[in-house]
A and B are shown apart, each in its own frame.
Chain A
Amino acid sequence: MGLGDGQSLPGRVALRLDPSLITRLTSNMIVVLVSGTNGKTTTTALVAAGLREAGGTITNSGGANMTGGLASSLAEATPDIAETRFAALEVDEIYLTAVAEMVAPAVFVLMNLSRDQLDRTSEVRRIAERWRLLVDEMPLTKVVANCDDPLVCYAASASESVIWVAAGISWTDDAIGCPVCGGEIVFSSGSWACGCGFCRPEPSWKLGADQTIEFPDGRIKVNPRLPGSFNLRNSLTALASCSAAGVPPSTAVTGVEAVSAVSGRFARYQIGSGTDAEVMLSLAKNPAGWSELVGMVDLIATDSALVIGLNAKIADGRDPSWIWDVPFDVFSGRSVIVTGERCLDLAVRLKYAGVGPLVVQDVYSALVVASKWSKQVVLLANYTCFQEARKALESPLAARHDGSARIVHLVGELRRWRNLSRTNGS
């Protein structure tokens, strides 16, 4: 597993030396665990920002969301542990039970369950079963659950203290089989139901008109700096979660609104120095995430140049056949630059969707080409392609903007390789 490896190694070592490390460090904290296939990194950041308005808060930013990564994040925060009141932790869906047993959380936040990298989590239904057992065994933990996702509802309904949030769902294909009876769940006009009686619970937290959030004892307006409708829904989930942890929305909203980028997601970078071209980076790791991003027409204005990037390294999943499930047709009639090691797969996919693709394999070069089309560039990319873009934009070499950066880089690599082979030879 490539994700978060560098961050999790020290934590894995520490856990080996002291298996009770995580339990000990969090024993006096109110812990909120955030899990789900999509949006958990962003929502965790929003929850942490909300809680911070009420007291010291630690979090595991950066997506190190398995036990080793958590231990690393906590260990880094050790000097401040005494003043820390809250922990907002992102947890991988599969690791939720293991982490919950270590930290005795006050709140579970269950966002959504859909197909992730196929070779890793082949059956999301199994995860729903595990979650269901977990919340049943922890009756003191409050569960903030997305009532729009049938699999989440199936898991959460085993708990006696559920706070239902209408956080939306953009991907229904995995949830079609009813987890109760195996029958077909029918989605219509914002609700869902199965013939067996299993149906959408009534939410107590939901979005009202005009960016208002309605909750049991009031309503509040929220203006998140993060773009797009799904970040509004993430803010809704975050405020409900803070409330479950004892921090009212009137307090938490200030922190939630102030978050502007999460681990580089939605961050804006200048493309090269001395230019006024700017790129906004957005990341999606799986079909559900891509469908959300692609559907954010409010994010991808028609006057900006669009670059779509796809890699298929281990951390991305080796099989990107899911690109055929993403509704790229919304870009029909536009021109789009495709990049990354599987740019040809994307190009063919887009071509059949009526989009005119231009192939530029190297991601930084693709951004430079796009900046000639428009001063505003938007990059949609999957995990390692997103990281490559970020690295290229942050490195001083990238500032040269003229392509010579690549040559300088290549020369550097060659020199390093020559030195290496010399050392080995002697």
Chain B
Amino acid sequence: MPVDSEVTIVTVYPDLLGTYGDGGNGSVLRGRLVARGMRASLLEIRSSTPVPETADIYLLGGGEDAPQIEAARRLRASGALSKAVANGGVVFAVCAGLQIIGESFVDGDDKPIDGLGLLDLRTTKMGGPRAVGEILLESSLPGYSGRISGYENHSGGTQLGTGVKAMGRVLVGTGNDRHSRCDGAFSGKVVATYLHGPVLARNPKLADYLLKLIVGEMPAIQDRTLVQLGKQLHGDRVAAAYRSESKRGVLSAWRSLRG
């Protein structure tokens, strides 16, 4: 894509999928393009509006049970996201969004609901307490080394099929399930994760990774404040994840001592 053409970013159904400030991911992507002197437009497509098929980047966020099922139903009926992927679009899906773009997930009564089938993964109830708290990954994305920080809050457990790879290895927190020690998934330009926060604000490198899938190499950002604040927040949250891990460690040691 030529550097001077406009990048179109779509926030999919913010009225149904936006529980964890997920709209922030769109603001960050647009902000980082504009800070490089590139043109970007951010469209919020509510559930009553058709999803365009030719945008560049599609963002899906978190949602509660009923809105999540409604979002999956409408997206399946429209078929717009599958066409968008075939057109070379990037999809970045968080939390409920991750579950929706997989093969299937479950409702409150454990009844399976069809997903969009964009990624080879399946979600069921994880069992036990919800996975809630700071989460930290070592990136497994191609060409992206480094840590990815976020906050997770989910009760679903996700199993990856053979057609996808995990987005990262879990250093702190839970991620896809309690056993695999990995989080999220990706295949081609479709990337999904349990990390909200919003994750792209905490991880400017991840934001740029997604942008590069569309525009290729980009000039550096000249606004030093923007660059430095992003790095500082990332560092602050990485440290917070390790702190929360050490607290959890002390707690579980205490519990095991008490039998």
- A: residues with CB less than 8 A from B are 115, 118-119, 122-123, 125, 173, 176-177, 182, 184, 318-319, 321-325, 344-345, 347-349, 351-353, 356-357
Q: Which residues of chain B have C-beta atoms less than 8 A from A322's C-beta? A: 20-21
* B19 contacts partner chain A, Cβ-Cβ < 8 Å: yes
Query: Contacting A348 at CB < 8 Å: which of B14, B19, B153, B230?
Result: B230
- Which of B117-125, B193-201, B249-257 lies on the face that meets chain A? B193-201
Q: Is the CB of A119 within 8 A of B233?
A: no
Q: Is the CB of A348 within 8 A of B201?
A: yes
Q: Is the CB of A177 within 8 A of B67?
A: yes
Q: Is the CB of B21 within 8 A of A323?
A: yes
Assembled-state Cα–Cα distance A319/B196 (Å): 10
16 pairs of residues in contact across A and B, judged by CB atoms under 8 Å: A173-B14, A173-B18, A176-B16, A184-B47, A318-B133, A321-B21, A321-B196, A321-B198, A322-B20, A323-B21, A325-B18, A344-B236, A345-B201, A352-B24, A352-B27, A352-B226
State the 8 A-B residue pairs at the shortest beta-carbon distance, nearest first.
A324-B24, A324-B21, A321-B21, A352-B31, A344-B233, A321-B20, A176-B15, A348-B233
- B: residues with CB less than 8 A from A are 14-16, 18-24, 27-28, 31, 47-48, 64, 66-67, 70, 132-133, 151, 153, 196-198, 201, 225-226, 229-230, 232-233, 236
Other contacts beyond A319-B151, A321-B198: 16, CB < 8 A = A115-B19, A119-B153, A122-B64, A173-B15, A176-B15, A182-B66, A321-B20, A321-B151, A321-B196, A324-B21, A324-B198, A325-B18, A345-B233, A351-B31, A351-B226, A352-B24
Assembled-state Cα–Cα distance A357/B232 (Å): 13
Query: Contacting B23 at CB < 8 Å: which of A184, A319, A324?
Result: A324
Q: Which residues of chain A have C-beta atoms less than 8 A from B48's C-beta? A: 184
Q: In the assembled complex, how far is the CB of residue A378 from the closest CB belonging to chain B, in whole angstroms? A: 23
Q: Which residues of chain A have C-beta atoms less than 8 A from B229's C-beta? A: 344, 347-348, 351, 357
Assembled-state Cα–Cα distance A125/B65 (Å): 12
Q: In the assembled complex, how far is the CB of residue B115 from the closest CB belonging to chain A, in whole angstroms? A: 20
Residue of B nearest to A352 (CB): B31
Q: Which residues of chain A have C-beta atoms less than 8 A from B15's C-beta? A: 173, 176, 184
Assembled-state Cα–Cα distance A321/B19 (Å): 9
Q: Is the CB of B197 within 8 A of A321?
A: yes
Residue of B nearest to A345 (CB): B233
Residue of A nearest to B235 (CB): A344
Residue of A nearest to B28 (CB): A352
Q: Which residues of chain B have C-beta atoms less than 8 A from A125's C-beta? A: 66
Q: Which residues of chain A have C-beta atoms less than 8 A from B225's C-beta? A: 351, 356
Q: Which residues of chain A have C-beta atoms less than 8 A from B64's C-beta? A: 122-123
Q: Which residues of chain A have C-beta atoms less than 8 A from B22's C-beta? A: 321, 324
Query: Contacting B20 at CB < 8 Å: which of A118, A344, A349?
Result: A118
Assembled-state Cα–Cα distance A78/B52 (Å): 65
Q: Which residues of chain A have C-beta atoms less than 8 A from B66's C-beta? A: 125, 177, 182
Assembled-state Cα–Cα distance A348/B204 (Å): 11
Q: Which residues of chain A have C-beta atoms less than 8 A from B196's C-beta? A: 321
Q: In the assembled complex, how far is the CB of residue B4 from the closest CB belonging to chain A, in whole angstroms? A: 23
Residue of B nearest to A319 (CB): B151
Q: Is the CB of B233 within 8 A of A347?
A: yes
Assembled-state Cα–Cα distance A319/B18 (Å): 14
Query: Contacting A119 at CB < 8 Å: which of B18, B47, B67, B132?
Result: B132
Q: In the assembled complex, how far is the CB of residue B16 from the closest CB belonging to chain A, in whole angstroms? A: 8
Q: In the assembled complex, how far is the CB of residue B109 from the closest CB belonging to chain A, in whole angstroms? A: 15
Count chain A CB atoms within 10 A of each CB in B24, B197, B226 and give the residue with the most. Answer: B24
Q: Which residues of chain B have C-beta atoms less than 8 A from A352's C-beta? A: 24, 27-28, 31, 201, 226
Q: In the assembled complex, how far is the CB of residue A171 from the closest CB belonging to chain B, in whole angstroms? A: 12
Residue of A nearest to B198 (CB): A324
Q: In the assembled complex, how far is the CB of residue B193 from the closest CB belonging to chain A, in whole angstroms? A: 14
Q: Which residues of chain A have C-beta atoms less than 8 A from B31's C-beta? A: 351-352
Residue of A nearest to B19 (CB): A118
Residue of A nearest to B26 (CB): A324
